[in-house]
Amino acid sequence: MYTYDDYDQRIVDERVRQFRDQTRRYLAGELCEEAFRPLRLMNGLYLQRHAPMLRVAIPYGLLSARQLRMLAMVARTYDRGYGHFSTRQNIQFNWPELARVPDILADLATVGMHAIQTSGNCVRNISSDALAGIAPDEIDDPRPWCELLRQWSTLHPEFSYLPRKFKIAVSGAEQDRAATAFHDIGLRLVRDADGRLGFRVLVGGGQGRTPRVGVVLREFLETRDLLSYTEAILRVYNRFGRRDNKYKARIKILVGALGIAEFSRLVEQEWAAQRDSALVLTPQAIAAMRAHFAPPAYDPAAAADTLPAAGPAFARWVERNTRAHRVAGYRAVFVSLKDGRHAPGDASAEAMDLVAALAERYSFGEVRVTHDQNLVLADVRVSELHGLWQALAAAGLATPNIGLVTDMICCPGLDFCSLANAASIPVALAIQARFDDLDYLHDVGELELKMSGCMNACGHHHVGHIGILGVDKNGAEFYQFTLGGVAGDGARLGERLGPAVPRAEVVDTLAHILEVYLAERGAEERFIDTVRRIGVAPFKERVYARAA
Amino acid sequence: MSGAGAMRVIRDGRVMDDPWRTVGAEEALPGGAIIVPLERRAEALDSGHAAEALGVMLPGSAEPDLLEGLLGSLPLVAIHFESPGDGRGYSLARTLRERGFAGELRACGAFGRDHVFYLARCGFDAFAPDGDGDPAALLAGFDDFSLVYQPAADQRDPIGALRAARERTPAR
């Protein structure tokens, strides 16, 4: 993985110094809250319901074991012993003390970590495919491109005061596991008819209160032009994006207002002037970056490995929680952070330490954070799966539910977030408690359940096969269901099922939806396929029949 | 956007008396070096004001094409920031520099010491923020970072170029 050199490290250290001074000026009354707010946000610090929340960047979800141990140390020393992995592959600490945040950042800096641009109206952490570099369906490794974008966007002088936040995702595989159609810019690595590598550029996707599927801005962008073209998009957005209403300030609104043809014309015009600027990526620069992501020393002997027969529980875990690897004899292992006892995505300091140790023992010392709020050990030898499983299972990290109903995405909701209208964590736990029968879960099969506690959609409800949105109705918590959303290939927004249901009925409503699916599904048909085939009506009928 | 006389400004990294006087939309045009709203430039020229002593003020939202044909002759362009969070002036400044403007590019309005590092990188070389505070308080902000990742209007070598140079001349 990319390791910070002395240049990167100096920037991180100087950022700590800068933020320490900003915090000092704020606490000394030299900076008012209004002036401090954008400064702290640009460093991932929110003031939430109970305490500040610090979001730490995990660039494209990639961590070394050493970095994960540092996160555990931060959780233990400055927080309440846990952290929350977010849908943008970052980690959030819910209980730090404002005055100690500079110390947290100084500790993080010792392992090349920081909170730079994890919030604020700037280019945020670049997100990507958790299986980058190892997926059998990969066209090109997205991580070097993510890192090039990370460096270009870090402390960008022109784009630190954009109309609104700006999120970029990069996917390098046939299958889009990075939800590129729901980002401000989505980049898909592709090859053209001549076999040249480039990007298909999507723009204007997003969720929130105005969900939009991104549209193609350019079918093929040469890799050399990645940064100059991105800069042109950002400049057009910075100049013309709305600033009068924060709910209409994202690039999707600008693209919608201008139309993709006019937006594209403006970008091309801007790009024409800058295309051959110093932003051009030379073959040397690309090769140097690729070298940072060279494959680890896989053992060729692994190809002869066989999976030990070790009982049905192990077999089920292998089937559910591991994925194919492009190198024979290796698998990618998902560490489930959805045990039904903790908020989805939460990990204790002990769990983080354990996963760090397991990464060192079994997976070349690297860990990935998935956008579904789990962790991945990407390079595990098949012959070692059993040992790893035993260690994870002993710590409650081997719930065999990856991709199933209880592997749900969930935002912090009313328990922590000052924007939320309704609880999400307790509802998620209630759902997980109800659907804890593994045979039933596995029978239902692949299903993406996503829940947000307000229309800002941090829990990605719009793109859940089943989405649940918490709303406030005269002081009571209600939940709006949507069906048929898709985050990856064939991206689409879910369709509303009907009126929102009270909190007490959420679990039953979900049970009724699953009941219809089990009754209606064809052979080998996944939930999403059934919804697509029969539409929302049969589900609606079942869910609301009770009331009549 | 209007100002009284004897103001201080940061130029070339130093605080100095401002040789320019900023004139508002309604004020009578004084003699000497003045900065007028772009709409008043023709009026000032008509009243006999010398072009080399006539700068213009634009809001950050202005279309850079408004200055087409003038970039070679304007001694000073001032860009006014309505609020610290309105980043349009950064793009406008870079665009003017990319189009060859070589005169003084002045940031005016609502910004502070936490913005000047970015402003300078976008091509601003003079800074006259709103408020009664001493502009000297801004000076520390120019050194917030000693390295940069991306090329911009300040012509500083980005880290990528430093790395490439180091590759060519390995450490002794």
DSSP notation for A333-380: EEE----SSS-TTEEEHHHHHHHHHHHHHHSTTEEEE-TTS-EEEEEE
Res. A529: pLDDT tops 70 = yes
Task: Kindly state whether residues A517 and A423 are assigned to the same domain.
Answer: yes
Same domain, A465 and A434: yes
Please report the pLDDT score of residue B4 as a whole number: 46
Domain span holding position A21:
6-60+75-109
Q: What is the mean pLDDT of residues A237-259?
A: 97
Model confidence pLDDT, tens digit, residues A501-526: 999 999 999 999 999 999 999 999 99
Whether residue A158 sits in one domain with residue A284 = yes
Chain A contact set for B157 (CB, 8 A): none
Q: Which residues in chain A have Cβ-Cβ distances shorter than 8 Å to B164? A: 284-285
> pLDDT value at position B172?
52
Tell me the average pLDDT across A214-232.
Answer: 98
Average pLDDT for A455-482: 95
Please identify, among A339, A360, A394, the residue that sits at the C-terminal boundary of a domain: A394
Q: What are A84's strand-pairing partners? A: A92, A346
Q: Are residues A231 and A364 in the same domain?
A: no
Is residue B81 included in any domain, yes or no?
yes
pLDDT above 90 (res A357): yes
Q: Which residues of A touch B84 (CB under 8 A)?
A: 35, 38, 161
For residue B151, is it within any domain? no
**CB neighbour list of residue B105: distance below 8 Å, 6 or more residues apart:** B76, B77, B79, B93, B96, B97, B123, B124, B125, B126
Are A278 and A357 in a shared domain? no
Chain B contact set for A273 (CB, 8 A) = 98
Q: What is the pLDDT of residue A52?
A: 87
CATH of residue B42's domain is: 3.20.20.70
Confidence of residue A547 (pLDDT cuts 50, 70, 90): low
Q: For A413-453, what is each residue's pLDDT tens digit?
A: 888 888 889 999 999 999 999 999 999 999 999 999 999 99
The number of domains in chain B is: 1
Quick check: is B41 in a domain? yes
Q: Which amino acid is at B114?
A: D
Residue B171 touches chain A, beta carbons under 8 Å: no
Over residues B85-107, the pLDDT tens digits come to 999 999 999 999 999 999 999 99
pLDDT tier at B168 (50, 70, 90 boundaries)? Answer: confident
Contact state of B150 with A151 under an 8 Å Cβ cutoff: yes
Q: What chain A residue is nearest to B112 in terms of C-alpha separation?
A: A35
pLDDT > 80? residue A4: yes
Residue A158 domain flag? yes
- Count of domains in chain A? 4
User: A279 and A138 in one domain?
Assistant: yes
Q: What is the pLDDT of residues A249-306, one digit of tens each?
A: 999 999 999 999 999 999 999 999 999 999 999 999 999 999 999 999 999 999 999 9
Interface touch B98/A273, C-beta < 8 Å:
yes
A10, A161, A278: residue with CB nearest B90? A161
Out of B85, B98, B160, the one facing A161 most closely (by C-beta) is B85
- What share of chain B has pLDDT > 70, as a percent? 94
**pLDDT for residue B5:** 46
| Residue A147 and residue A273 in one domain | yes
Q: How far apart are CA A145 and CA A289, in angstroms?
A: 8
* B102-143 pLDDT tens trace: 999 999 999 999 999 999 999 999 999 988 777 888 999 999
Task: Please compute the mean of the pLDDT values over residues A237-249 and round it to a whole number.
Answer: 96
Q: Is the pLDDT of residue A194 over 60?
A: yes
Question: Is B138 in the A-facing interface, judged by CB distances under 8 Å?
Answer: no
Percent of chain A beyond pLDDT 70?
A: 99
Q: Which pLDDT score, from 0 to 100, does residue B49 have?
A: 95
Q: Using a CB-CB distance cutoff of 8 angstroms, which residues of chain B are in contact with residue A153?
A: 150
Side chain identity at residue A64, one-letter code: S
**Residue A242 is assigned to a structural domain of this protein:** yes
Indicate whether B30 belongs to any domain.
yes
Same domain, A140 and A276: yes
Question: What letters, b where the CB count within 10 A reaches 16 and e where it falls short, cover A419-455?
Answer: bbbbbbbebbbbbbebbeebeebeebbbbbbbbbbbb
Q: Is a pLDDT exceeding 70 seen at residue B1?
A: no
- In the numeric block, the tokens 């929110």 are attached to A46
Q: Flag whether A146 is in a domain.
A: yes
Which pLDDT does position A217 carry in this prediction? 98
Nearest CA in chain A to B120: A157
**Nearest residue of B to residue A147, measured between CA atoms:** B149
Which amino acid would we find at residue B130?
A: D
Q: Is the pLDDT of residue B53 over 60?
A: yes
Q: What does the pLDDT read at residue A425?
A: 93
In this structure, are A142 and A276 located in the same domain? yes
Give me the helices (H) in A404-488, please.
425-434, 438-444
For the stretch A37-96, pLDDT in tens is 999 999 999 987 777 899 999 999 999 999 999 999 999 999 999 999 999 999 999 989
Please say if the pLDDT value at position B2 is more than 80. no
Domain end point (choices A257, A288, A319): A288
Hey, what amino acid is at A41?
L
Please give, rounded to a whole number of angstroms, the shortest distance from the CA of B157 to a CA of chain A: 10
Shared-domain flag, residues A242 and A309: no
The closest CB to that of B91, out of A18, A235, A285, belongs to A235
Candidates A18, A151, A277; nearest CB to B149: A151
Q: Is residue A70 part of a domain?
A: no
The average confidence (pLDDT) of chain A is 96
Q: How far is A151 from chain B (nearest CA, A)?
A: 6
Rounded average pLDDT over A146-172: 98
Is B164 contained in some domain? no
For residue A317, is it within any domain?
Answer: yes
Asked if B144 is an interface residue toward chain A (Cβ–Cβ < 8 A), one would say: yes
Q: Does A396 touch chain B (CB under 8 A)?
A: no
Residue-range definition of the domain harbouring residue B15 = 8-145
Same domain, A284 and A146: yes
Do the Cβ atoms of A11 and B163 come within 8 Å? no
Determine, yes or no, domain membership for B21: yes
Residue B83: C-alpha distances to residues A459, A462, A501, B130 (Å): 32, 34, 43, 10
Residue A341 contacts B, CB cutoff 8 Å: no
Single residue among A394, A422, A448 that ends a domain in this structure: A394
CATH of the domain at A472: 3.30.413.10
Question: Would B38 be classed as within a structural domain?
Answer: yes
A295 in a structural domain:
no
Residue of A238, A245, A289 to mutate for B, most B C-beta atoms under 10 A: A238
Are residues A314 and A365 located together in one domain of the fold?
A: yes
Q: Pick A52 or A373 by higher pLDDT.
A: A373
Q: What is the mean pLDDT of chain B?
A: 92
Confidence (pLDDT) at B171: 58
In A, which residues are within 8 Å of B58 by CB distance?
Answer: none
A548 pLDDT exceeds 80?
no
